[in-house]
């Protein structure tokens, strides 16, 4: 026999919805056996601009390295940071 699912309440704000889901189990509200994988191919991650002061000689070396790889120097910096952090 299928489990009776609870009705999802209406929320006044995103904060109220967030607080609700922090204290409730989604399995009580959704039949997870019917879940299907979803892809969002055009979704871009949030970014934030930062200011970073670099010695001119270091920036020139980065630009030379980026030029050799045929990528923008800012993209190369992001790639290097991601490799180091990840």
Distance, in Å, from the CA atom of 62 to the CA atom of 54, rounded to the nearest integer, reads: 10
> Does the predicted TM-score (pTM) go above 0.85?
no
pLDDT of the chain, 86 residues: tens digit per residue: 667 899 999 999 999 999 999 999 999 999 988 889 999 889 888 889 999 999 999 999 999 999 999 999 999 999 999 999 97
Indicate the domain borders of the chain: 1-36, 50-86
Positive or negative: CA dihedral 26, 29, 32, 36: negative
Going from the C-alpha of 25 to that of each of 8, 30, 75, the distances in angstroms are 11, 9, 40
**φ, ψ for residue 6 (rounded to 5)?**
-80, 155
**Do residues 31 and 5 make contact, with C-beta atoms less than 8 angstroms apart?**
yes
Nearest to 80 by CA among 45, 69, 42: 69
């Amino acid at each position: 026999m299928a489990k009776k699912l609870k009705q999802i309440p209406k929320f006044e704000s995103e904060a109220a919805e967030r607080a609700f889901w922090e204290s409730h189990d989604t399995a009580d509200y959704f039949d997870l056996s019917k879940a299907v994988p979803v892809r969002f191919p055009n979704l871009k991650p949030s970014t934030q601009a930062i200011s970073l002061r670099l010695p001119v000689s270091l920036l020139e070396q980065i630009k030379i390295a980026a030029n050799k790889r045929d990528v923008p120097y800012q993209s190369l910096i992001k790639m290097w940071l991601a490799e180091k952090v990840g």
